[in-house]
Amino acid sequence: MGCLLALIAWISPRFVLAMLYLFTTRLTIAFSSGWEGVLGFLFLPYATLIYALVYRPGPGVSGFGWVLVALGLLFDVSSLTAGGRLPLRRGRAGRRRRARA
């Protein structure tokens, strides 16, 4: 079950966050305010998901957990920048093909 959750999280972290919210109390434990979870869901889904999974009541996130959260932040930033560059690549490649023909 854990591997299936990891595969779905890799494809759609927002779906997994919604499932965690509906079927567990993990998000309510990790976030003291509902706004943190909502903003994370909208803007940084990978970092929010990883933060919620590595959070422990009491000490919170520490040590290697912060490394994993930073990795989630890197995934979020790379998905945003890659999505912004994709239409540019398609447009340039299409122009090159037309120019050669």
Q: What is the pLDDT of residues 60-69, one digit of tens each?
A: 888 999 999 9
CA distances 74 to 26, 33, 46, Å, are: 23, 24, 9
CA nearest neighbour of 24 among 7, 49, 43, 42: 49
Say if residue 86's pLDDT is above 70: no
Is the pLDDT higher at 32 or at 101?
32
Say if residue 74's pLDDT is above 90: yes
Q: Which two tokens stand for residue 73?
A: 């932040």
**For residue range 8-55, what is the model confidence (pLDDT) as tens digits?**
888 889 998 998 899 999 889 999 888 988 999 999 999 999 999 899
State the pLDDT at residue 84. 66
pLDDT band at 95 (very low <50, low <70, confident <90, very high): low
What residues does each domain of the chain span? Answer: 2-100
